[in-house]
């Protein structure tokens, strides 16, 4: 430490690493050493093999060799220091070494993110435009894409490093991690970190949202192209061409489910908005469902993701109440909207000749507005009752967001009135919505059975199959959590069910409504042709 006046500037940090597990420290060392050696061996072997075999001198393997090189640098930036610290009494690291370690780690991570995107485009060109593949993916373009990935990762990290070097560390110097990562350093800083937080968010949006969006758009076109292949062997060969890359992307972007969800839903809204053929009641409801899902997951996921890197996962009472209010409002709105979409399916199948007159634009708008008003009104009633509760005992919520069953458990006030009111709202929004949906589908099934041709029955069923799937997932997981709160209001099963309807379902809805939908596929195909003609 360097002292100057009343300020003590920290020049060394202590890495706690895996010191919490002293009894298995040798086992951990052996396991991580083996993983590091295997990682180096596999990636170096792959580099040598691609270099030596002329058959592998193709764009795909050129990208793969650079990915292997990045992985070697990526793991080497943290693993040797971590392994060395296993048997050190004081696991210290200088501020300069800490900054350099983060610089290399971040540069390789961001570069790999860009390279994954370049590889997705390569797979798109290989499957969607095989005849033009060699001319499109020329050596010059491949070299520029790889170089661009390195420069983009390096430039972004330089910005972060310059901002990080402006920080001062004058308090605790213990990093509860095995390497110098940014969240831990920001917690220890005694200067204002707002600018660095803002910069990190901007870079995350640029490298996260844009890269994931490009990857997802590429794979949408790839899936469309694969589905057009008539032979099973052809589809299998096309899928195997990109399966490895898709697996690597999924593993790399595990925490990017939120970004994927936002990208897919916003992409679906954009497609519906841009294609005049999709300006129908069904797609009007679908675009509003996508908007709801985007807002729905944005209330939960950002906070949940930031908590992964916080030692103290605190949330104020006001923040907790507002999170539940918005989450509940959108959830109740989605209940009503799904019921409205069921009625739309009923009119389309049971009264096709009157569909245009019945589902007029003004009625559709009134149904969506009514869903929003009733959802926010129901949640506002809950909010008023929730604000009357007192919390004077334990304050630990065994969940990843502020949900109602956990809040009621912690309250030291009488919650009988609140539980009765919640039951009434559950009946109004849950059972009535389900009842409307079930009655609609009762008439739909009766109408489909009367259709004589198999093709007509299949077409009618496909009209409402996506909606029925979304309804089953949404209400099924919700019933498990809220109809049986005593069986696991804070249990692992309840958490998993909550993850399903707060994170997974909003991500799946665009896929559910797109993959079996000819109009969406045609709209995407037209966009692809326009993009392709513009590029070439």
Domains of the chain: 12-223 (1.20.1070.10), 253-484+491-530 (1.20.1070.10)
Q: What's this model's pTM, rounded to 2 decimal places? A: 0.56
Residue 77 has pLDDT above 60, yes or no: yes
Q: Kindly report which listed range (66-70, 239-243, 283-287, 288-292) carries the lowest average pLDDT score.
A: 239-243
Token pair for 280: 């129908």
**Residue 235 CB neighbour total at 10 angstroms:** 15
Residue 34, phi then psi, degrees to nearest 5: -65, -40
Residue 489 is predicted with a pLDDT of: 40
Residue 224 is predicted with a pLDDT of: 81
Residue 530 is predicted with a pLDDT of: 52
Q: Kindly report which listed range (318-322, 373-377, 476-480) carries the lowest average pLDDT score.
A: 476-480
Compute and round to an integer the Cα radius of gyration of the chain: 27
Residue 120 has pLDDT above 50, yes or no: yes
Burial of 68 from C-beta contacts in 10 A (0-12 / 13-18 / 19+): buried
pLDDT band at 259 (very low <50, low <70, confident <90, very high): low
Residue 334 has pLDDT above 70, yes or no: yes
- Between 138 and 522, whose confidence is greater? 138
Residue 495 is predicted with a pLDDT of: 62
In sequence order, which residues have a C-beta less than 8 Å from that of residue 49 and are 6 or more positions away? 56
Q: Kindly report which listed range (117-121, 207-211, 328-332) carries the lowest average pLDDT score.
A: 207-211
Q: Kindly report which listed range (107-121, 158-172, 293-307) carries the lowest average pLDDT score.
A: 293-307
Residue 399 is predicted with a pLDDT of: 78
Residue 155 has pLDDT above 60, yes or no: yes
Task: Report yes or no: 224 and 525 within 8 Å, Cβ to Cβ.
Answer: yes
Report the C-alpha gap between 105 and 81 in whole angstroms. Answer: 13
Report the C-alpha gap between 219 and 224 in whole angstroms. Answer: 8
Residue 482 is predicted with a pLDDT of: 59
In order of 309, 349, 406, 457, the CA distances from 461 in angstroms are: 46, 9, 40, 6
pLDDT band at 393 (very low <50, low <70, confident <90, very high): confident
- Between 530 and 354, whose confidence is greater? 354
DSSP assigned state of 176: S
DSSP assigned state of 502: I
Q: What angle do CA 156, 157, 160 make, to 5 degrees?
A: 95
Report the C-alpha gap between 353 and 357 in whole angstroms. Answer: 8
Residue 154 has pLDDT above 70, yes or no: yes
Residue 515 is predicted with a pLDDT of: 56
**What is the sign, positive or negative, of the torsion defined by CA atoms of 490, 491, 494, 496?**
positive
Residue 284 is predicted with a pLDDT of: 92
Residue 531 has pLDDT above 50, yes or no: no
Task: Report yes or no: 101 and 93 within 8 Å, Cβ to Cβ.
Answer: yes
**Residue 387 CB neighbour total at 10 angstroms:** 10
Mean pLDDT of all residues in 353-362: 91
Residue 242 is predicted with a pLDDT of: 76
Q: Is 265 helix (H, G, I), strand (E, B) or coil?
A: helix
Residue 7 has pLDDT above 90, yes or no: no
pLDDT band at 149 (very low <50, low <70, confident <90, very high): very high
Residue 156 has pLDDT above 80, yes or no: yes
- Tell me the per-residue pLDDT of 431-462, one tens digit each, with 9 for 90 and over: 888 899 999 999 998 988 888 888 888 777 87
Residue 119 is predicted with a pLDDT of: 92
Report the C-alpha gap between 325 and 386 in whole angstroms. Answer: 10
Report the C-alpha gap between 365 and 456 in whole angstroms. Answer: 30
Sheet holding 92-94, edge to edge: 92-94, 12-15, 174-175
Q: Kindly report which listed range (106-115, 278-287, 311-320) carries the lowest average pLDDT score.
A: 311-320
Q: Kindly report which listed range (28-42, 145-159, 194-208, 354-368) carries the lowest average pLDDT score.
A: 194-208
Instruction: Report the range out of 149-158, 452-461, 464-473 with the highest average pLDDT.
Output: 149-158
Residue 371 is predicted with a pLDDT of: 93
Q: What angle do CA 362, 367, 369 make, to 5 degrees?
A: 90
Residues for the chain: how many in total? 536
Among candidates 372, 286, 388, which has minimal Cα distance to 329? 372
Residue 532 is predicted with a pLDDT of: 40
Residue 148, phi then psi, degrees to nearest 5: -60, -35
Residue 341 is predicted with a pLDDT of: 92
Report the C-alpha gap between 127 and 494 in whole angstroms. Answer: 41
Residue 104 is predicted with a pLDDT of: 93
Among candidates 447, 418, 245, which has minimal Cα distance to 328? 418
Instruction: Report the range out of 180-194, 356-370, 521-535 with the highest average pLDDT.
Output: 356-370
Report the C-alpha gap between 383 and 322 in whole angstroms. Answer: 9
Residue 250 has pLDDT above 80, yes or no: no
Residue 234 is predicted with a pLDDT of: 79
Task: Report yes or no: 112 and 252 within 8 Å, Cβ to Cβ.
Answer: yes
Mean pLDDT of all residues in 264-286: 84
Among candidates 494, 335, 310, 363, which has minimal Cα distance to 426? 335
**Longest CA span, the chain:** 91
Residue 534 is predicted with a pLDDT of: 41
pLDDT band at 175 (very low <50, low <70, confident <90, very high): confident
Residue 527 has pLDDT above 70, yes or no: no
Mean pLDDT of all residues in 513-531: 59
E strand or H helix that includes residue 8: strand 7-9
pLDDT, mean over the chain: 82
Residue 173 is predicted with a pLDDT of: 85
**Residue 168 CB neighbour total at 10 angstroms:** 12
Q: Is 13 helix (H, G, I), strand (E, B) or coil?
A: strand
């Amino acid at each position: 430490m360097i002292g100057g006046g009343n300020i003590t500037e920290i020049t060394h940090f202590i890495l706690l690493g895996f010191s919490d597990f002293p009894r298995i420290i040798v086992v951990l060392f052996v396991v991580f050493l083996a993983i590091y050696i295997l990682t180096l061996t596999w990636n170096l072997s792959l580099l040598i093999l691609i270099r030596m075999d002329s058959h592998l001198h193709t764009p795909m393997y050129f990208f793969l060799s650079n990915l292997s090189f990045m992985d070697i640098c990526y793991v080497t930036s943290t693993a040797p220091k971590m392994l060395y610290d296993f048997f050190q009494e004081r696991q210290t690291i200088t501020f300069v070494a800490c900054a350099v370690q983060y610089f290399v780690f971040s540069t390789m991570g961001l570069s790999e993110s860009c390279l994954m995107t370049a590889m997705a485009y390569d797979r798109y060109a290989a499957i969607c435009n095989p005849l033009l593949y060699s001319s499109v993916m020329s050596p010059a373009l491949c070299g520029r894409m790889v170089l661009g990935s390195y420069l983009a990762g390096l430039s972004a990290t330089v910005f972060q490093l310059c901002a990080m070097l402006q920080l001062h560390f004058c308090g605790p110097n213990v990093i509860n991690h095995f390497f110098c990562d940014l969240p831990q350093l920001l917690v220890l800083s005694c200067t204002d970190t707002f600018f660095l937080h803002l910069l990190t968010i901007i870079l995350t949006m640029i490298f996260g949202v844009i890269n994931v969006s490009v990857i997802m758009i590429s794979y949408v076109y790839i899936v469309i192209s694969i589905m057009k292949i008539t032979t099973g062997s052809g589809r299998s060969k096309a899928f195997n061409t990109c399966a490895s890359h898709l697996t690597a992307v999924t593993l790399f972007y595990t925490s990017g489910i939120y970004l994927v969800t936002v990208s897919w839903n916003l992409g679906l809204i954009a497609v519906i908005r841009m294609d005049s053929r999709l300006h129908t009641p069904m797609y009007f409801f679908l675009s509003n469902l996508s908007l709801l899902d985007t807002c729905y997951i944005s209330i939960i996921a950002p906070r949940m993701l930031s908590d992964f890197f916080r030692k103290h996962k605190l949330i104020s009472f006001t923040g907790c109440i507002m999170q539940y209010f918005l989450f509940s409002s959108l959830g109740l709105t989605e209940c009503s909207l799904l019921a409205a979409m069921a009625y739309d399916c009923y009119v389309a199948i049971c009264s096709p000749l009157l569909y245009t007159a019945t589902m007029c634009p003004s009625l559709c708008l009134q149904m969506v507005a009514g869903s929003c008003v009733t959802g926010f009104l129901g949640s506002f009633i809950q909010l008023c009752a929730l604000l009357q509760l007192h919390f004077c005992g334990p304050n630990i919520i065994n969940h990843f967001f502020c949900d109602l069953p956990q809040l009621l458990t912690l309250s030291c006030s009488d919650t009988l009135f609140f539980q009765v009111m919640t039951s009434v709202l559950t009946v109004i929004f849950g059972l009535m919505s389900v009842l409307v949906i079930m009655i609609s589908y009762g008439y739909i099934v009766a109408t489909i059975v009367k259709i004589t041709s198999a093709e007509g029955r299949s077409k009618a069923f496909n009209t409402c199959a996506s909606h029925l799937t979304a309804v089953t997932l949404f209400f099924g997981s919700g019933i498990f959590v809220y109809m049986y709160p005593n069986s696991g209001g804070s249990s692992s099963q309840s958490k998993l069910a909550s993850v399903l309807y707060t994170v997974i379902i909003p991500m799946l809805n665009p896929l559910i409504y797109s993959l079996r939908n000819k109009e969406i596929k045609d709209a995407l195909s037209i966009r692809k042709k326009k993009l392709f003609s513009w590029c070439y």
